[in-house]
Amino acid sequence: MTQKRPIFAVAPMIDWTDRHCRYFHRQISREALLYTEMVVADAIIHGPRDRLLGHDAAEHPLALQLGGSDPAKLAEAVKIAEPYGYDEINLNVGCPSDRVQSGTFGACLMLTPETVAACVAAMKAVATAPVTVKCRIGVDEQEPERALPELISRVLDAGADAIWIHARKAWLKGLSPKENREIPPLDYEIVYRMKQRWPDVFIGINGGIRTLDEAATHLAHVDGVMLGRAAYQNAAILADIDQRFFGAPASAPDWEALRDRMMTYAERHIASGGRLQHVARHMVGLFTGLPGARRYRQILSTDAAKTGAGPEVLAAAFAAVDFSGTEQEAVSA
């Protein structure tokens, strides 16, 4: 089975793409595939499952990203996650953080493709949703032209349904996770070549993609495009996805309706014991480039963090934005 959708996704990002972020993004795009933060298999087996795996039904289509290197534990985590109804289960073979390396998973797994294949086979044996892999093009001194196709070949033989490739190497020593997202040079061409080599397999691309025009360019060569920081830091970019890539009717974003839905959601979260800041922190970059965006950011960054802050803070922030203005440089906002 090969996965042919989606063609657009918001990348899994630790500390960012939690359930509140995903609910917010879903209000802007109905079609984009959303990903959880990476959840370690051990945490699912031994930790608070509802907190780790629970989500709002509105978040679908939604993928769960798992971290781990023990096939048995990953299979158990997949079985535990089954009732939560995820649309895809993704194995992280790309995260370069020290925390992940100490657990012998993430990007360092590229050094042991046979282990990745065993993990995929174990996950496929118990999963009903598609099982996918997100990887780098290589790590450290690996030669990507050899390491990447070897990994792909092995995981496809193990039953993987799709491959997402972050088009950079990861340097496990000497670079921080932030530097690993920026310093290793991008090599989109090697991802294109992997698609040419496996034309019937869903292969998606990730890394350094900032605009929907760039996304469209990549889609001439691969099946899917994944945006990370660009989608998080300026979530309004998601407003054009459904029309541009999924054939939805063209329409102007209804920001007032978004405000009202997020106020209702925030009220629900606060009533259950949460804080407005848990929701509002993901909304700060929404109106980058519009008049009033600076004041909008100030309100969300300061007032939403105050004890007892309620949904009215969101209303005040939205009221600061001039939606009649044309898009300007963020510095003028």
- Binding-site positions: 65, 134, 166, 206-208, 228-229
Q: Catalytic one among 21, 95, 108, 135?
A: 95
Report d(CA 232, CA 237) in Å as an integer: 9
Question: What does the chain come to in residues?
Answer: 333
Known binding-site residue numbers for FMN: 65, 134, 166, 206-208, 228-229
* Separation of alpha carbons 227 and 113, rounded Å: 25
- In the numeric block, the tokens 């450290």 are attached to 140
Helix (H, G, I), strand (E, B) or coil at 194: helix
- How far apart are the two ends of the chain, measured CA to CA in Å? 48
CA distances from 224 to 138, 158, 206 (A): 20, 21, 9
CA 124 from centre of chain: 21
| Cα gap 100→43, rounded to integer Å | 13
Could you tell me the two tokens for 257? 């309706």
Helix axes 19-28, 255-271, angle to 10 degrees: 160
Q: Is 95 a catalytic residue?
A: yes
Q: Which two tokens stand for residue 228?
A: 């990370």
DSSP-based three-state secondary structure for 93: strand
Residues annotated as catalytic (active site), given as ranges: 95
